[in-house]
Chains A and B, each alone.
Chain A
């Protein structure tokens, strides 16, 4: 098996804001393989934006180690900045400039093309690229309109093509679909998947929508600054989801005796909750002779497991 390069490596990351009583991010470690689609999942206030801010060099950490594309996020910040693109939670477009001027500004900041005061005076390669990208996202008629007149979905797409201008190795997306309608969301994801396929861009997503994370290669669930679970969606399901059977019988005493005799773990006084213990539901039920009056197989979705994790602390309070 060929081992893929870790494009992001985070070790024991900690962040305590000034005058804050506790850590916003507490001993977080994970890595992301090159070309992967990685999701940092968690409720609001879990520390997702803090993590992404540290990874994108705009916030300093309290302790720990962060490497992006082989460079240290603190001491080699400029190198890191060259290899990343970021879509922030709040739109970072200048509403007074046109869509094209926002892209031009970005191209200039990254030294891709020298600055010229008008679009037609810019490098022909730049003009061609902008027209192409505008077409891809269906903005060809609005590219010279001020950004403040564009819809939310359009703005997001504009930010994405802008962040891809310098062909970053890693694209960070901080809750990119917040405030978008379902159609815009679907469009956006379709476009992002296309980019990923073509450019092998690593995608680092933070989201509180589970269904957005479900399509990723690797998920890290974070809550109150701590990692609660990490792995592929399938692994997370396996660890988090407890499948069980709930059953009842007209003759409960007989059922209890039988369950005890067959060493099937159960709980409750009826209906009974029986653990599968590695067996399939069918195997378990087939082994029971006492007539059952009620039978339910519980197979929670990842969504239910996620809600359970993030509400655990709420329940403890």
Chain B
């Protein structure tokens, strides 16, 4: 057990070390939210504000926060595929530690990486004057952690069935981009044609985004307009899916790895 904990910390720390050496990744992680919030958010805000009962920029900012956490950890976990192709994964797989410890270390590491990135994005939001109430943001921190871990488990289940980096590059955008819109990063999904509504309710990112908003807005007058589900329901779905994705993903990954 002690050895597994040391291994988890080492695997997690490796991801952090790599983040600070990978300037491109840091830059890329900022460009996306900045464009979304800065360009899309601001221009929509100008057009919509009169008719909305909540501040649209705050709404989008919270959505983008959840989406960034989810996506960043998910794609971080998928870097195991890259490790596997560079044969670095073998170094981990011959170590006398639990396979769950390897995946756990990876999720912890990528969660930490996402948190570092999200702190930068929060700082950006505050500096550019997006209306945020600070106690509300502080309240979100444990949920940031949970959503990053959730994204990691989602990445796990995707990766468990993919062998090559090239397939990942082709498939991953298909799994992530529709979720941007289905999850309501930019708009509360309350009215949609039935098939899209169903898709939206299936998309795991929906519950990540709504969990952040439902916690942030709870007790405020905007709650009824900006939030889809009760925070407890969101929490239950996120925690439940995390458990399923993590266990099934690890099991499948190890099985596919050995039974070639």
Contacts and interface: CB of A to CB of B under 8 A. Distances in A.
B21 interface: yes
B257 interface: yes
Nearest to A20: B260
Interface in A90-141: 90-97, 101, 104-106, 108-111, 114-115, 117
A115 B13 contact: yes
A18 interface: yes
User: For this complex, into which size category does the number of interface residues on chain A fall?
Assistant: 20 to 34
A interface secondary structure, majority: loop
Contacts of A101: 14, 17
B97 A109 contact: yes
B135 interface: no
Given A58-B93, A109-B97, A93 B6 contact: no
B260 A88 contact: no
Contacts of B86: 90, 92, 95
Contacts of B88: 92-94
Nearest to B9: A115
B90 A109 contact: no
B3 A56 contact: no
Interface residues of B, number: 29
Contacts of A25: none
B14 A105 contact: yes
A109 B93 contact: no
A86 B96 contact: no
A294 interface: no
Nearest to A81: B96
B104 to A, nearest CB: 13
B87 A78 contact: no
A246 interface: no
B10 A109 contact: yes
A270 B95 CA distance: 63
Nearest to A77: B96
A189 interface: no
A16 to B, nearest CB: 10
7 A-B pairs with least C-beta separation:
A111-B3, A108-B10, A81-B96, A109-B95, A90-B87, A82-B96, A115-B9
Contact of A97 (B3, B11, B17, B260): B17
Given A91-B87, A115-B9, A57 B94 contact: yes
B23 to A, nearest CB: 12
Given A18-B259, A18-B260, A59-B260, A88 B96 contact: no
A106 B14 contact: no
A78 B96 contact: yes
A96 B11 CA distance: 14
B7 interface: yes
Contacts of B95: 81, 106, 109-110
A60 interface: yes
A17 interface: yes
Contact of B257 (A17, A58, A94, A111): A58
A108 B257 CA distance: 23
A96 B22 contact: yes
